[in-house]
Structure 1
Amino acid sequence: MRVALHTRVRPDRIADYDAAHQQVPQELAAAIRDSGVHEWTIWRSGSDLFHLIDVDDYAAMLDRLSALPVNIAWQARMAELLEVSHDYTADGSEAVLPVVWRLPDQP
């Protein structure tokens, strides 16, 4: 499943947010992969962040990561930097960025 998310970094913390993502703990990256994530890309436009996640089961991934100390620490760090931490449901059913159009495969 693909999940598209929108978050927002505090305008005065953009450099800190970018720097944090140059140092994502390897333990966290491994836990994310082990939770069924195949790819996670974040783009930034000003203070707006756009995430595209290719994951087996988004709700299961959130549940699996929720109790891990490395993720709890990371989420606390992000809470200091983000103005809008997320605008999606825990089960992934409401991605803020719904698909409007996709280039179709060749006929």
Structure 2
Amino acid sequence: MRIALHTRVREDRIEAYEAAHRRVPAELTAAIRGAGVSSWTIWRSGCELFHLLECEDYARLLAELEHLPVNIAWQARMGDLLEVAHDYSGAGAAAGLPEVWQL
């Protein structure tokens, strides 16, 4: 399944956000893959961040990562950088952007 998400980086933290993503912990990327994600891309336009995930089951992904210590640490780090964060709670499974059109 494809999931599109929208988050927002703080204007004064763009450089730190991009630097953090050049060094995502290997333990976290392994956990994301292990939870069924085959691809995760983030694009930035100004402060707006757009994510596209290819995964087996988005709700399962969130459930597997929500209480994982490496993800909790990463989300705390992102919390300092983002105005609008990715929701890893059970309610976050409904946070995907609705698809309007596809070719």
- Does TM-score exceed 0.5, indicating one fold? yes
Aligned partners of 1:5 and 1:87 also within 8 Å: no
Q: Kindly state the Cα deviation for residue 31 of structure 1 after the two structures are TM-superposed.
A: 0.3
Q: Kindly state the Cα deviation for residue 87 of structure 1 after the two structures are TM-superposed.
A: 7.0
Higher helix share: 2
Structure 1 window deviating more from structure 2 (17-26 vs 61-70): it is 61-70
Aligned partners of 1:6 and 1:49 also within 8 Å: yes
Unaligned runs of 5+ residues in structure 2 are none
Q: How many residues align?
A: 101
| 2:76 corresponding residue in structure 1 | 76
Distance 1:102 1:33 in 2: 26
Structure 1 residue ranges, 4+ long, deviating more than 3 angstroms after superposition: 86-89
Distance 1:30 1:6 in 2: 23
How large is the Cα RMSD of the aligned pairs? 1.5
User: What residue identity is the alignment partner of 1:82?
Assistant: L
| 2:55 corresponding residue in structure 1 | 55
Choose 1 or 2 for highest CA Rg: 1
User: What residue identity is the alignment partner of 1:28?
Assistant: L
Cα deviation, 1:6-55, whole Å, max 9, x if unaligned, reads 00000000000000000000010000000000100000001000000011
Aligned partners of 2:38 and 2:54 also within 8 Å: yes
Identity %: 63
Change (3 A) 1:74 1:87: closer
Q: Kindly state the Cα deviation for residue 94 of structure 1 after the two structures are TM-superposed.
A: 4.2
Unaligned runs of 5+ residues in structure 1 are none
Cα deviation, 1:61-101, whole Å, max 9, x if unaligned, reads 1110112111110000000000011479422x3422x2222
TM-score by length of 1: 0.88
TM-score by length of 2: 0.91
Change (3 A) 1:25 1:86: closer
